[in-house]
Amino acid sequence: MQAKGYAVLAASKPLVPFNFERRELRATDVALEIQYAGICHSDIHQAREEWGPAIFPMVPGHEIAGVVTEVGTGVTKFKVGDRIGVGVFIDSCRKCPSCTAGLEQYCLEGMTGTYNGYERDGKTVAQGGYSNLFVVDQDYAVTVPANLDMAGVAPLLCAGITLYSPLKNWGAGKGKKVGVIGLGGLGHMGVKFSVALGAHTTVFSHSPSKEADAKAMGAHEFVVTKDVANLEALSKDYDLILNTVSADLDLTPYLNLLKLDGTLVLIGLPGKPYEVSTPSLLAQRRSLAGSMIGGIAQTQEMLNFCGEHNIVSDVEVIEPSYINEAYERTVASDVKYRFVIDAAKF
């Protein structure tokens, strides 16, 4: 079917209006009218080839919220009119140990990304959510709770699950001390979830102007990281620190804030590898870990949690023509706290 959206035609070029084909519905597919698509920093990394060679033309976007308009003959999970979401992947092998455990993002054959990759036929280029419509297999879409605002929901499909998953995995909750580095799209969701789970939550930010917002989101402490002395002055009693920074960062001061057996989880994915201080790891048997989005079942769990706790992303809704400026402002950490494209305007 004929779709319209915005695409990057070559690395680092501005996004421009773009018409393209989506596949006709297979038996287990649903079609959705996209209402909102979030702008994730990963879109920018890929549009600018900061993660290596990419596929162009590229329609980015993997934070998709919309309404089902058509269902295939074998669809049982959704019906026309349902509010659904699609995130960072649209398929996986469905049979490896990761897939059968509901951890499709760690599929041993590799998950099928929502864009900048090929579908499982190995030749169809997947195109993402900066577009008016989408087609996806029912098993790779999730249900949006009725009480949540769709613009604020879109970022939950990547930013939300990407922070919810490590918070759950490493047991954030009452009596735990959690730090979130970077109050951006991912980071602000991390703060909301950490607070809702009952953990003592600190924001580490290089933007002093974000303090009031962080506190309004429920953060208990806000530490300005521009001066490393501010970090060194803190007590070394963090259970878990989540690094969501999109740029290179010296991890050592954060490792040093972890208590015995504490964990620093890498979530931000700048192109350049980090340096790791071995003494900082050894000293308190600390761990350095990574975490990537979350599986379909946990994404649904996260959305249900959001429904119960009335959590959505703080968004700036924009028209498609503003995407290029939104990219610049995201890179400059100047967004409160996620740009979301009004897909009715494509």
Contact flag: residue 186 with Zn ion (CB under 5 A): no
Contact flag: residue 157 with Zn ion (CB under 5 A): no
**CB atoms < 10 A from the CB of 291, how many?**
18
Contact flag: residue 94 with ligand NAP (CB under 6 A): no
Contacted entry of Zn ion, ligand NAP, none for residue 136, CB cut-off 5 to 8 Å set by kind: none
**Minimum distance of ligand NAP from residue 104's CB (angstroms):** 13
Contact flag: residue 47 with Zn ion (CB under 5 A): no
Please state whether beta strands 258-266 and 287-290 pair in parallel, antiparallel, or not at all (unpaired).
Answer: parallel
Residue number of the CB closest to ligand NAP reads 184
**Minimum distance of ligand NAP from residue 118's CB (angstroms):** 20
Contact flag: residue 215 with ligand NAP (CB under 6 A): no
Contacted entry of ligand NAP, Zn ion, none for residue 93, CB cut-off 5 to 8 Å set by kind: Zn ion
Considering only residues 175-204, where is the footprint of ligand NAP by CB under 6 A?
182-187
**Minimum distance of Zn ion from residue 98's CB (angstroms):** 5
Size of interface with ligand NAP, in residues (CB under 6 A): 31
Q: Which is nearer to ligand NAP, 3 or 60 (CB)?
A: 60
Cα 1 from chain centroid (whole Å) = 28
Only one of the segments 1-9, 191-199, 232-240, 246-254 lies at the binding site for ligand NAP (rule: CB under 6 A); that segment is 246-254
Half-sphere CA count of 75, side-chain side, radius 13 A: 25
Contact flag: residue 99 with Zn ion (CB under 5 A): yes
On the 0-12 / 13-18 / 19+ scale of CB atoms within 10 A, 310 is: exposed
Contact flag: residue 298 with ligand NAP (CB under 6 A): no
Q: Which two tokens stand for residue 34?
A: 């996209």
Q: Which two tokens stand for residue 160?
A: 């939300």
Rounded CA-CA distance 117/154 in Å is 21
Q: Which is nearer to Zn ion, 93 or 283 (CB)?
A: 93
Say which residues have a Cβ less than 8 Å from residue 194's Cβ, sequence separation at least 6: 167, 172, 178, 180, 201
Contact flag: residue 85 with ligand NAP (CB under 6 A): no
Q: Which two tokens stand for residue 340?
A: 């979301």
Contact flag: residue 268 with ligand NAP (CB under 6 A): yes
Contacted entry of Zn ion, ligand NAP, none for residue 306, CB cut-off 5 to 8 Å set by kind: none
Contact flag: residue 92 with Zn ion (CB under 5 A): yes
Contact flag: residue 65 with Zn ion (CB under 5 A): no
Only one of the segments 108-116, 275-283, 290-298, 304-312 lies at the binding site for ligand NAP (rule: CB under 6 A); that segment is 290-298
Q: Which two tokens stand for residue 171?
A: 């047991």
Q: Which is nearer to Zn ion, 40 or 84 (CB)?
A: 40
Contact flag: residue 247 with ligand NAP (CB under 6 A): yes
Contacted entry of Zn ion, ligand NAP, none for residue 132, CB cut-off 5 to 8 Å set by kind: none
